[in-house]
Structure 1
């Protein structure tokens, strides 16, 4: 066994996220393991772009509240202690509610090239507000 030193927290790139989102990488793949694990912190209203994962993704909310939304319009309200699984290829986004920070662990398996994430277009403000309404929030 070995200690994995704490990595620096970095601000995520604006071309993949809306608002202020911060990422601390926990684990990168080391064969034979393909595990990718990171701690992601969203400020209120911040969110990912639409994206999908080649082998799926598990999100475990550690603090606050947020949304996970797929292309069919399904909205899951994520609160501390909740987990969400997005299957391989399912296009989705996630982020904080308008009034809360949201922090989650993002767990996925790397694909053949990189982490297997396909990044798509930003989530519009109108789409974000529509998801909040569907979730029964403002």
Structure 2
């Protein structure tokens, strides 16, 4: 777990490299200061909790959140105008695209979702999953939500394989 946390810290430090041009000091977001909320029903199926880790700022056009999905929970179809990185912290993540391809990824593994690609992500049916998402923003927008993903699209996740190979 420490290896994952250290990897996340290193990634966040790398991504925040441009902040020095606007800010003159580091910004600390202490535990308990972040917004935590239940994933809205119109954008999620199942029980999902979102914890904002850091917001976008004028120099760094991306934000970070820890998202926890209970077993079987998932997002609706959506896309990100500036793309999104997903890093699994615990459990097994699933992410799928409109062409039917589904990727399974495990703790410490990451997936890059390029700009404007319709996709969904969530937990397997048998265990909770938490991932860190680092989401870019373009013209002040970081996500475009669409319709919910049907159970038929998600299918039987125990039979899914990593279709990225």
Q: Same fold (TM over 0.5)?
A: yes
Shift of 1:5: 2.8
Normalising by the residue count of structure 1, what TM-score does the alignment of the two structures yield? Answer: 0.91
Higher RCO (CA < 8 A, seq sep 6+) = 1
Structure whose CA Rg is larger: 2
Q: Which one of 16, 25, 29 corresponds to residue 4 of structure 1?
A: 29
Q: Which one of 134, 155, 158 corresponds to residue 107 of structure 1?
A: 134
Kindly report structure 1 stretches of 4+ aligned residues shifted beyond 6 Å. Answer: none
Query: RMSD between aligned alpha carbons?
Result: 1.5
Question: Do structure 1's residue 30 and structure 2's residue 30 form an aligned pair?
Answer: no
Partner of 2:81: 54
Normalising by the residue count of structure 2, what TM-score does the alignment of the two structures yield? Answer: 0.77
Identify the structure with the greater helix proportion.
2
Partner of 2:107: 80
Shift of 1:130: 5.2
Q: Which one of 100, 104, 122 corresponds to residue 148 of structure 2?
A: 122
Aligned residues of 1:16 and 1:48 also touching (Cα < 8 A): yes
Aligned equivalents of 2:75, 2:88: Cα separation in 1: 15
Identify the structure with the greater strand proportion.
1
